[in-house]
Amino acid sequence: MDRAERVAIAKRILEFNDRDIDEMGDISWETDIGRFTDKARFELEKQEFFLKRPQLIAYTADFPEPGDYYATEIVSKPILLVRGKDGKAKAFLNACRHRGVKLAEGCGNSKGFSCPYHGWTYGNDGALLSVPSRAAFEPEQLAERGLIELPLAEKHGVVLVHPQPSGMVDWDEFFGPEMGGIIADYDLEDFRLVGEYRAPARINWKHAVDGGLEGYHVPYLHPTTVGPGTLRQFMHLDFGLHQTLVSPMKQILDLKNIPEEEWPETLPYGFTNAIFPNTVVGGSKHIMFFQRSEPGAEPGTCTYIFRTYGPHKGATEETRAMAQYMTDLLMKTALEEDMTIQSSAQIQMEAGAVPSIVLGKREVNLIRMHQNHDRLIGHDVAAALNKSGEFAEAAE
C-alpha cells in the first residue's frame, strides 16, 4: 500500500472523528447460528474452505534457519515445515511412511527425522534414509517411501501450504495485489518468534476470525488492555475473500495539528488482516501476531494457535522489551478476553438459547465474510432462519 493510500485512510479516520461518526456498511443482517453449530455444515467447510485450498499456516520466522523445522496442522492434518540446507522451505505430511506415527512435534533444528516407533529415518528433504532390518521388506516396497511433500509457496516472510499433494499454490493469486502489498509492507522476514500458544478451545473456528474483524466490541470487552489506546473510528477494507480492520490509535488525533507533509512515515493505526479462511495476521514494526483456529472434531471445538514475533535485525534491549510487553498484552487480550467471551457465545448457541444472531453495520467485515462462506457452499440463510423460527416456537 503506497503512502497516498495510507494517508487517505488516516484522513478518513480524522474526518469521521471530527464528525463523531463510525464507518458503517450498507446493511445489517440477521443470520442463522448453524454456521457455528451445524455438524454437516462444519464438515462441508472443512472440505471446501480448508482441504481444497492453500492455507497461510506459518511465517518464515517459525523456521528461519537452515535445518529448522516447525510442526503444525491444517484442520487435523499434521504438517511438518522444514528449511533445507539451501534455505528452501518444504512442507511434508508429518507422518512416518511405515505405519503412520508422527515424526516431529513443536519446533527445533535437525539434520533429519527419526521415527520413535521402529526407527526409520528421513532427511530434511523428506527422503527415506534408513530402515532397520531393511531385508524384511522388498526393495520396491521402500522405493517410494519418502515423506509425502505438499505444495508450498514462501514470499515476504509468509508461508502458504496446500494440504493436498496434487494441489496448486500461487502466492500472488492467493493474496491478490492489495492484500499482497499489505503483507509485503510488514517486512516479516526480519521478525523472530517471541510468544506461542496452542491449545484446544471451546469455540467454532469462525468466532476467532470474527473477533479480529470488528472494533465494535473493543471498548467494552477490552477496557483495560487494548481498549484505552484505541479510537472508535475503525475502518473496514474488503479484498474479496480477505478483509482488513484498521484500528486507529488515539495518537492519530495529534496529526490534526501537523501539516500533512510532516506526518510520520508510520501512521498511528494498525491493520488486522483476516486471511481466508481462518488466519488472522497483523501488527506493527514492534510486534507481529499470527492467529489460526484449526477446526476440531466438533463444530464447537478448535485448536487455537496464537503466536507473536519481534523485530530481529538491529534488535536492541529496548525493542525486545517492547516485543515482550506487547506479547503479554496481546496474549491477555486474546486468551482471557476474546476467547472467553467467544466460548460463552458458542455454549449459549449449543444450549438452544440463540435462535439467530444479528450483525450490525459496524460489523460490516463479518457480514462480508459470512456471506462469502454462504456463497461458497450454497447456504440458504432465509431457509435456515425459517427453521430457527420453528425452533423458537417450539421453545415457547
Which residues here bind ligand FES, judged by CB under 6 A?
96, 98-99, 101, 115, 117-120
Report the interhelical angle of 364-377 vs 205-213 (nearest 10°).
140
Please, what is the minimum distance in Å from the beta carbon of residue 210 to ligand FES? Answer: 40
| Cβ partners under 8 Å of residue 202, min gap 6 | 300, 301, 343, 346, 347
98 versus 332: smaller Cβ distance to ligand FES: 98
Q: Which range in 18-26, 99-107, 332-340, 365-373 contacts Fe ion by CB under 5 A?
A: 332-340
Q: Which is nearer to ligand FES, 108 or 119 (CB)?
A: 119
Q: Which does 118 bind (CB under 5 to 8 A by kind): ligand FES, Fe ion, none?
A: ligand FES
CB nearer to ligand FES: give 113 or 276. Answer: 113
Is the Cβ of residue 128 or residue 274 nearer to ligand FES in the bound state? Answer: 128
| 169 touches, from Fe ion, ligand FES, none (C-beta below 5 to 8 Å by class) | none
End-to-end CA distance of the chain: 53
**Nearest distance in Å: CB 339, Fe ion:** 9
Smallest gap, in angstroms, from Cβ of residue 333 to Fe ion? 6
Q: To the nearest whole angstrom, how small is the minimum distance from the Cβ of residue 118 to ligand FES? A: 3
Q: For 26-74, give the DSSP string.
A: S--EEE-SHHHH-HHHHHHHIIIIIITS-EEEEEGGGS-STTEEEEEEE
Residue 98 interface partner, choices Fe ion, ligand FES, none, CB cut-off 5-8 Å depending on type? ligand FES
**Chosen from Fe ion, ligand FES, none, partner binding at 338 (C-beta under 5 to 8 Å by type):** Fe ion
Residue range at the interface with Fe ion (CB under 5 A); choices 12-20, 136-144, 287-295, 331-339: 331-339
Closest contact distance (angstroms) between CB of 249 and ligand FES is 51
Residue 296 burial (CB count, 10 A): 20
80 vs 226, beta carbon nearer Fe ion = 226
Contact 78, 94 (CB under 8 A): yes
Q: Is residue 338 part of the contact set for Fe ion (CB under 5 A)?
A: yes
SS3 content of the chain, % helix, strand, coil (to 5): 40, 25, 35
Q: Of the listed pieces 93-101, 118-126, 206-214, 273-281, which binds Fe ion according to CB under 5 A?
A: 206-214
Which among ligand FES, Fe ion, none contacts residue 192 (Cβ within 5 to 8 A by kind)? none
Q: Could you tell me the CA-to-CA distances from 243 to 271, 275, 392 in Å, in that order?
A: 10, 7, 33
> Which residue in 354, 328, 264 sits closest to 3, CA to CA?
264
Shortest Å, Cβ 97 to ligand FES = 8
Residue 144 vs 317, nearer CB to ligand FES: 144
Q: What is the largest CA-CA distance in the chain?
A: 80
Query: 49 touches which of Fe ion, ligand FES, none (CB within 5 to 8 A by kind)?
Result: none
Cβ at position 148, least distance to ligand FES in Å = 14
Taking residue 137's Cβ as centre, other Cβ atoms within 10 Å add up to 12
User: With respect to Fe ion, which residue has the nearer C-beta, 154 or 338?
Assistant: 338
Nearest to 193 by CA among 318, 84, 287: 287
CB-based contact 94:103 (threshold 8 Å):
yes
The Cβ-side half-sphere exposure at 117, using a 13 Å CA radius, reads 10
- Burial profile 355-384: b = 16 or more Cβ within 10 angstroms, e = fewer: bbbebbbbbbbbbbbbbbbbebeebebeeb
Smallest separation (angstroms) from ligand FES to the CB of 133: 11
* Shortest spacing between CB 222 and Fe ion, in angstroms: 6
* Cell numbers representing residue 283 in the block: 501488527
Give CA separation, 217 vs 39, 210, 221, 338, in Å.
Answer: 28, 11, 6, 9
Q: Which stretch binds Fe ion (CB under 5 A): 52-60, 280-288, 290-298, 330-338?
A: 330-338
Q: For Fe ion, give the closer residue by CB, 85 or 250.
A: 250
Tell me which residues in 211-230 interact with Fe ion (CB under 5 A): 211
Across-strand partners of 200? 303
- Residue 98 vs 198, nearer CB to ligand FES: 98
Q: Among residues 14 and 335, whose Cβ is nearest to Fe ion?
A: 335
Using CB under 5 A as the criterion, which residues of the chain lie in contact with Fe ion when the complex forms?
A: 211, 338
